[in-house]
A and B are shown apart, each in its own frame.
Chain A
Amino acid sequence: MTLARTQSIALIGLHGELVDIEVDISDGLPGYSLLGLPDAALMESKERVRSALHNSGAQWPNKRVTVSLSPAWLHKSGSGFDLPIAVALLIAQGVVTKVNHDFQVIMGELSLDGSIKPIRGVLPALIAAQELGIESAIIPAENLAETRGLTRLKPIPFAHLSQVLQYLEEGVIPDVELKQPVLHVPEIKDLSEVVGQRSARFALEIAAIGGHHLLFLGPPGTGKTMLAERIPSVMPELSSQESLEVAAIHSIAGALVERQVDSRTPPFVAPHHTTTSIAMVGGGAHSIRPGACSLAHKGVLFIDEAPECNAGVLDALRQPLESGTVAISRVSGTITFPADFLLVLAANPCPCGRFNGRGLACTCSSVQIRRYMQKISGPLLDRIDIRSYVEVPSRVELSAIEPGESSADVRARVIQGREVAAERFKADSWKLNSRIPASQLRHKYRARREAMAFLHAELDHERLSARGYHKVLRTSWSIADRRGSTIPGLQDVQDAHRLREGSQIL
């Protein structure tokens, strides 16, 4: 046989496309042409495949080799096509004869000595393959750990090209010594370590129940970061479908070392405030990578020192906040990544950070203080339902021996609150209180009469904007769910109003 075909998967964002790899060996001067819009890493595959074949005891055909990756219009990138090209070459040369590869995809990068190296994006590629009815996949052994969530597709791990040869010829599945990838999973922190902060704890719990975006304000060292880091611990666990989706995004970004593939904990992503908007929403010239907001999908995106962010970085989040997805357009096309996250911002109240209480220690001018918060743009602040002042803990709180309420206790209430909400929204298209459309808030999802009267009075006194009116109502539903009332009453709405204004509660 001088013509052979293998299959692999090319990724466009999270979407996988089946790629046919055809190899033709014909007489002529020794040469190698690779067709099908390969990128630089893929162009270099020739040298890797050639050396790998040599060092696995196989021959490089000293003839005219044509490799075609189809569909031809699709841009293909990365080193994952090394292995399918090598296998196709071996079949075309007749080295491998007994092949039944119709329901199998192959992926992996080759090292010069023939060993198979891990690649990025194995999980989303295999999810796509599974949906296309592919039954098994030859993958790098080191990527096996991330395929745990797959049900119908059987991944077969290989560490060396010679093992693949043996498998194709004799059907021997090698006994590969699995190296567990070194994980740098950050430990899950518990809310019981937070001292005091009743008001901020309440805000955090309501945010978790209703999926309300949150802003922590307060002087440095009061525990804003500490509180934010613990939000994932009070959120309900991800479903297996969500967990797979989150892992797939991390797989493309090569960030699965920071997250166990089948972890049910919502992700927590905290980009530094000097980050660029590309890093925030995703991008890249050749292969488009997901950004921080997609890595935080179904979890928490925490931005500390939010007013210090470069202009435009925070505003780049407006589209994902609105739609739950982020669309990135480049020359090669438009790619959409999911980005449904809970946004948590933290900020000092002023540039010097010491504006607290009556602001006696603060050295900033009133203009400076006003300007500081203006760095977070109005439209973005508008999407934030809850503002919480994090105060310096008092002496009594600091000397308390009793630990604070644990994450598990809070999470139990959050789950209960979300269940109540889910039951209420059975017939609707949303599941969280923060997603109730404004029109519905004025009709189907109104608060009690006296509560609505309070809101109308606030509107009349111009202490509340029309937008604020809707936000307060949404938050009041979460507070009602937390307290077990079926419809938000006066107390719930007043508390929601205070949460929006950032004043103390309880």
Chain B
Amino acid sequence: MARALQRIGADGETLVASYLEAQGIAIVARNWRIKEGEIDLVARDGGMLLFVEVKSRTSSRYGHPLEAITPIKALRLQRLALAWIATHDQWGADYRIDCAAVHFRSGLKPEVEYRAGVL
């Protein structure tokens, strides 16, 4: 079960990555992980760094996927983004934190809902 869920998460991230690439946005890193947590996707849109949190769901029984991002988790995303910038010596770069929800529904094409600059 746990593995199946991981699979859904990974599939969602891949979908979002190709969604971004289709718009000419380069993926810089996937699943960048440090002790404090993980950034799902790091991308670069011209001069702008994008840090993307992806939430995948197969049903909306537990509410909208993005509702799972609580204020505490949102703050953690912010810290992780700064950590990435610090590690990669990108001080002064413009950056943005985005979220994406991926809905997997049986028999339907997965749907990507992308929200830019949520924080």
Q: What's the minimum C-beta distance from A2 to chain B, rounded to whole angstroms? A: 14
Q: What's the minimum C-beta distance from A364 to chain B, rounded to whole angstroms? A: 70
Query: Which residues 56-80 of B have a CB within 8 angstroms of A?
Result: 63-64, 66-67, 69, 74
Task: Tell whether, in the assembled complex, residue A29 and residue B69 are in contact, meaning their CB atoms are under 8 Å apart.
Answer: yes
Q: What's the minimum C-beta distance from B7 to chain A, rounded to whole angstroms? A: 25
Counting CB contacts under 8 A, is B118 at the interface? yes
How far does the alpha carbon of A64 sit from the alpha carbon of B117 in the complex, in Å? 12
Counting CB contacts under 8 A, is B105 at the interface? no
Task: Tell whether, in the assembled complex, residue A28 and residue B67 are in contact, meaning their CB atoms are under 8 Å apart.
Answer: no
The closest CB in chain A to the CB of B77 belongs to A29
The closest CB in chain B to the CB of A30 belongs to B67
Task: Tell whether, in the assembled complex, residue B118 and residue A62 are in contact, meaning their CB atoms are under 8 Å apart.
Answer: no
Task: Tell whether, in the assembled complex, residue A28 and residue B64 are in contact, meaning their CB atoms are under 8 Å apart.
Answer: no
Contacts of A27 in B (CB 8 A): 115-118
Tally chain A residues at the interface, Cβ within 8 Å. 6
Task: Tell whether, in the assembled complex, residue A62 and residue B67 are in contact, meaning their CB atoms are under 8 Å apart.
Answer: yes
Query: Which residues 99-119 of B have a CB within 8 angstroms of A?
Result: 99, 115-119
How far does the alpha carbon of A362 sit from the alpha carbon of B69 in the complex, in Å? 79
Query: Which residues 51-88 of A have a CB within 8 angstroms of B?
Result: 62, 64
Chain B interface mostly: loop
Task: Tell whether, in the assembled complex, residue A29 and residue B66 are in contact, meaning their CB atoms are under 8 Å apart.
Answer: yes
Contacts of A64 in B (CB 8 A): 118
Task: Tell whether, in the assembled complex, residue A30 and residue B116 are in contact, meaning their CB atoms are under 8 Å apart.
Answer: no
Contacts of B63 in A (CB 8 A): 62
Contacts of B66 in A (CB 8 A): 29-30, 62
The closest CB in chain A to the CB of B119 belongs to A29
A29, A30, A62, A64 interface centre (most CB from chain B within 10 Å): A29
Task: Tell whether, in the assembled complex, residue A62 and residue B64 are in contact, meaning their CB atoms are under 8 Å apart.
Answer: yes
Task: Tell whether, in the assembled complex, residue A29 and residue B116 are in contact, meaning their CB atoms are under 8 Å apart.
Answer: no
How far does the alpha carbon of A274 sit from the alpha carbon of B66 in the complex, in Å? 56
Contacts of A29 in B (CB 8 A): 66, 69, 74, 99, 115, 118-119
Query: Which residues 79-112 of B have a CB within 8 angstroms of A?
Result: 99
How far does the alpha carbon of A29 sit from the alpha carbon of B65 in the complex, in Å? 10
Contacts of A62 in B (CB 8 A): 63-64, 66-67
Contacts of A30 in B (CB 8 A): 64, 66-67
Q: What's the minimum C-beta distance from B15 to chain A, rounded to whole angstroms? A: 19
Q: What's the minimum C-beta distance from B90 to chain A, rounded to whole angstroms? A: 24
How far does the alpha carbon of A27 sit from the alpha carbon of B118 in the complex, in Å? 7
How far does the alpha carbon of A27 sit from the alpha carbon of B64 in the complex, in Å? 14
Per-residue CB proximity of A5-30 to B under 8 Å, as 1/0? 00000000000000000000001111
Per-residue CB proximity of B34-67 to A under 8 Å, as 1/0? 0000000000000000000000000000011011
Known: A27-B118, A62-B63. 13 other contacts (CB 8 A): A27-B116, A28-B115, A28-B117, A28-B118, A29-B66, A29-B69, A29-B99, A29-B115, A29-B118, A29-B119, A30-B66, A62-B64, A62-B66
Residues of B within 8 A of A (CB): 63-64, 66-67, 69, 74, 99, 115-119
- 8 nearest A-B residue pairs (beta carbon): A62-B64, A30-B67, A28-B118, A27-B115, A29-B118, A30-B66, A29-B69, A30-B64
Interchain Cβ contacts under 8 Å between A and B, 14 examples: A27-B115, A27-B116, A27-B117, A27-B118, A28-B115, A28-B117, A28-B118, A29-B115, A29-B118, A29-B119, A30-B64, A30-B66, A62-B63, A62-B66
